[in-house]
Amino acid sequence: MKSVREWGLAQMKDPDFKREYDALEEEFALLTSLTRARTRAGLTQEELAQRMGTTQSVIARLESGRGKPSTRTLERYAKATGTKLRITLEAAE
């Protein structure tokens, strides 16, 4: 039986799969940034939720990518984790 890593490496050889995977790169980067900010702040999802005035399940949804957060939500997340939200527009490749 293949490991998940082996399966993923094999799938990346398929141009259609790789294109779709690459299209999600920015979303994955945001999710990673959210989780890292919370971890650096030394907060659990529950503690972060309390700081933001929401529930742990909302934080879990944000960090898992199940939904598109608003700019206001990202600003509240940044403030609660002691970080700064920066949104940039860059030239398309």
Domain count, the chain: 1
The alpha carbon dihedral of 71, 88, 64, 79 has a sign of negative
CA 34 to chain centre: 5
> 37 in a domain, yes or no?
yes
pLDDT value of residue 7? 87
For residue 27, give the CATH number of its domain. 1.10.260.40
55 within some domain: yes
Confidence band of 20 (pLDDT split at 50, 70, 90)? confident
Contacts of 13 (CB under 8 A, 6+ apart): none
Is 28 among the domain residues?
yes
Tell me if 86 is assigned to some domain.
no
Is residue 14 a part of any domain in this protein? yes
Mean pLDDT value across residues 68-92: 94
When mean pLDDT is compared across 19-33, 54-68, 79-93, the lowest value belongs to 19-33
pLDDT in tens, 27-51: 788 999 999 999 999 999 999 999 9
Alpha carbon separation from 12 to 15, 20, 24, 76, 93 (Å, rounded): 7, 10, 14, 36, 20
Q: How confident is the model at residue 12 (pLDDT cuts 50, 70, 90)?
A: confident
Residue 50: domain span? 4-81
Q: What is the mean pLDDT of the chain?
A: 91
**% residues pLDDT > 90 (the chain):** 60
